[in-house]
A and B are shown apart, each in its own frame.
Chain A
Amino acid sequence: MATSVELSTEEGGTYSGPLLDVRNLHVEFRTREGVARAVNGVEYSVDAGETLAVLGESGSGKSVTAQAIMGILDSPPGFVTQGKIIFQGRDLLTLGGEERRKVRGARMAMIFQDALSSLNPVLNVGEQLGEMFTVHRGMSRKEARARAVELMERVRIPAAKERIRSYPHQFSGGMRQRVMIAMAMALEPELIIADEPTTALDVTVQAQVMDLLAELQREYNMGLILITHDLGVVADVADKIAVMYAGRIVETSPVHDIYRAPAHPYTKGLLDSIPRLDQKGQELYAIKGLPPNLLHIPSGCAFHPRCPRARDVCRTDDPPLYRVSQHRASACHFWKETLGDDSVPSDDT
């Protein structure tokens, strides 16, 4: 097997950039009602062993970006119209179908929110896990089966030897999510994209599943893109965050900085609108209005109709991703003022 590919560039040199580097990605859906611009210049990167959380409200383009990276975009109606998806030094968008398929599954894998609809209902989990090894690794069925049991034990499914004959619907939500994680881990990929992996689960089960994911990530030094709208989950596991709004990244930052002092009014609004567990607050802050219709994204800064800080320039000029510090960027004309809002020196040292 050609393992050197992943480390060499087209020019033959060694690649030393991030594991995954998404640059200026644009995706649109051409529907009967018009063109929905779901992803409008997304930029983010993730390194081996690193967890990037992609945060945003529903419809902000988190999943579509992930589907474009995985090469599983629903097309038509969806089309990547611009950009680069550089994975281990190669732009995936330039690869042919066969090569792309090899990357998917073996090098990068995805975990979905709804395990029941993404697992095959008519195959037992042993057959589904085993298939990964027979198809991709050319193992015999017996070998594959043994590996499947190992995997199930690895994701801590009790009585793996017996449960391997069970069908997806016979597992609880949490156990099913473990089966999905096992599937994703089977070929030891370098990158895992988890799209709302615990959104449908109760907090106690969510904690079990997130723990497992973090442990596996450490063990295999994988890059992890965690898509979520839960600011609590992000604070718990992420190294860095990309906040999405209307198909764009509006802020990227290491996790600690963004919670201490957001540099974009949308991030600030999100943080202010969540109630706290450790004390009873006053009235909640609420971002006014609604997320935009992607058929008619507002001019200038897409957030301006909802932004408490908006001025005339925001209605006309689309803010670029301004560099805030070495590892931070914000797509707000007034990021300095926004930072100033909160940048009281932290007192917890």
Chain B
Amino acid sequence: MTTASRPTTPEPSDGRPADREPILQVRDLVKHFPLTQGIVFKRQVGAVQAVDGVSFDLFPGETLGIVGESGCGKSTVAKLLMNLEEPTSGEILYRGEDITKLSGRALKAVRRNIQMVFQDPYTSLNPRMTVGDIIGEPYEIHPEVAPKGDRRKRVQELLDVVGLNPEYINRYPHQFSGGQRQRIGIARGLALRPEVIVADEPVSALDVSVQAQVVNLMERLQDEFNLSYMFIAHDLSIVRHISDRVGVMYLGKIVEVGADAEIYEHPTHPYTQALLSAVPVPDPEARQYRERIILSGDVPSPANPPSGCRFRTRCWKARERCVVEEPLLAVPEAFRGTGGPAAHDSACHFAEEKPVVPRER
């Protein structure tokens, strides 16, 4: 077997359209959940550092994928963006305005523009509401978007947009399959014509064949309505497929972020490399020439993260410096100014390239 040469790398670009302003800017976002002891007199004995200093930008019309192992803080970031949790500190700027400081009508106006699609199509829809009521519910909170007399027609349009029969408007969620329910969730997310959709594992509960239908739908809607997506998933292949840029999270922090080809073909952070190397690829021929990095141990508790680099307890390259000094998320010195695809943000003192994704047929 010859080792196939890698395809030529796409233009070195960090995927950020230079001429556009980000629609969302997240700065040093922190969310600690207090750990308390005692029933009557609650004492705080520590904190789960679910999100600990996360920063990123989201540009109009782009998809930012977020990957990472269970418990690393992906859903917490989503909830913070949606204002479902209050940040411990940090800023979330929507078109330059910090939404964590807004309240009342100003907040409501901004929230209209950021909507969410949830993972579980089986539990996220109220079983006692009709599909029409579910999709039209956002209009109760934002009646200015669709006057009462208009709503039924709007909802039917939305059903049509997501590929469901508009006549299903009076049916209940249990009369639909998982993929169809996820379409209903997407229709509801679209009701207020948002600019940003935060999708937390939107296809993880679906079978492969149905997953493809929903992913295609999301891509079509993005083009049609110029939506920005934050797409959270643990399936790295799906994330590559849909994302323009990808952020990798570990224990409450983003450890590497870049354009999809930068992350998948030129990862420089050991955790990203391990994660990618562990993905089973659907090609039996790849067995022979893949090199898998098997990490030892489990993810440490976010209530008590390691000092220095949080990945050091599982990193095969860890040295003394990793214990005492926290690596910052920036272009590593070795690649600074090279302009190559390895020159993207990576929080590792000893960042180096290591191709880990085997080429498929």
Contacts and interface: CB of A to CB of B under 8 A. Distances in A.
B307 interface: no
Given A175-B298, A202-B69, A281-B241, A236 B287 contact: yes
Contact of A278 (B69, B210, B238, B360): B360
Nearest to B234: A202
A348 B238 contact: no
A72 interface: no
Interface string B196-235: 0000000000011111110110010000000000000010
A348 B209 contact: no
A174 B216 contact: no
Contacts of B82: none
Nearest to A59: B207
B357 interface: yes
B48 interface: no
A290 B177 contact: yes
Interface in B269-324: 274-276, 278-287, 292, 294-295, 297-298
Nearest to A266: B209
Nearest to A258: B284
A348 B1 contact: yes
B89 interface: no
Interface in A215-272: 229-236, 238, 255-256, 259-260, 269-271
Interface string A193-216: 000000000111111101100000
Interface string A42-79: 00000000000000011000000000000000000000
A175 B255 CA distance: 25
Contacts of B112: none
Contact of B7 (A210, A256, A279): A279
B179 interface: yes
A229, A274, A281, A287, most chain B CB atoms within 10 A? A274
B283 A229 contact: no
Contacts of B361: 259-260, 346, 348
Contact of B286 (A158, A235, A346): A235
Contacts of B237: 232, 274-277
A256 B209 CA distance: 22
B118 interface: no
Contact of B274 (A204, A273, A285): A204
Given A208-B294, A280-B241, A273 B1 contact: no
A158 B361 CA distance: 39
Nearest to A158: B297
Contacts of B215: 275, 284
A233, A269, A279, most chain B CB atoms within 10 A? A279
B70 interface: yes
Interface string B222-260: 000000000000101110110000000000000000001
B261 interface: yes
A231 B208 contact: yes
Contact of B284 (A205, A211, A235): A235
Interface in A158-180: 158, 172-175
A226 B209 CA distance: 20
A57 B294 contact: no
A284 B177 CA distance: 20
Contacts of B284: 235-236, 238, 255-256, 259
Given A204-B275, A274-B237, A232 B294 contact: no
Contact of A284 (B216, B234, B294): B216
Nearest to A259: B284
Contact of B281 (A210, A273, A277): A277
B295 A208 contact: yes
Contacts of B1: 348-349
Nearest to B176: A290
A277 B240 contact: yes
B264 interface: yes
A10 interface: no
B69 A235 contact: no
Contacts of A158: 297
Given A236-B287, A273-B209, A207 B292 contact: yes
A305 interface: no
Contacts of B261: 280
B216 A286 contact: yes
A256 B285 contact: yes
A283 interface: yes
B152 interface: no
B16 interface: no
Nearest to A287: B209
B295 A235 contact: no
B212 A273 contact: yes
Contacts of A83: none
A271 B292 CA distance: 23
Contacts of B240: 275-277, 280
Contacts of A348: 1-2, 4, 285, 361
A259 B283 contact: yes
B281 A172 contact: no
Nearest to A56: B207
A231, A232, A238, most chain B CB atoms within 10 A? A232
A202, A232, A287, A349, most chain B CB atoms within 10 A? A202
Contact of A57 (B207, B219, B238, B287): B207
Nearest 9 A/B pairs, CB to CB: A232-B280, A275-B241, A286-B212, A287-B209, A273-B212, A207-B278, A231-B282, A57-B207, A284-B212
Interface of A: 57-58, 158, 172-175, 202-208, 210-211, 229-236, 238, 255-256, 259-260, 269-271, 273-281, 283-288, 290-291, 346, 348-349
Given A278-B281, A284-B215, A291-B209, 15 more contacts: A202-B234, A203-B278, A205-B298, A234-B282, A259-B285, A271-B282, A273-B209, A277-B360, A279-B7, A280-B240, A283-B219, A288-B213, A290-B179, A290-B210, A346-B361
8 contacts: A206-B278, A207-B278, A207-B294, A255-B284, A259-B283, A274-B208, A275-B215, A286-B213
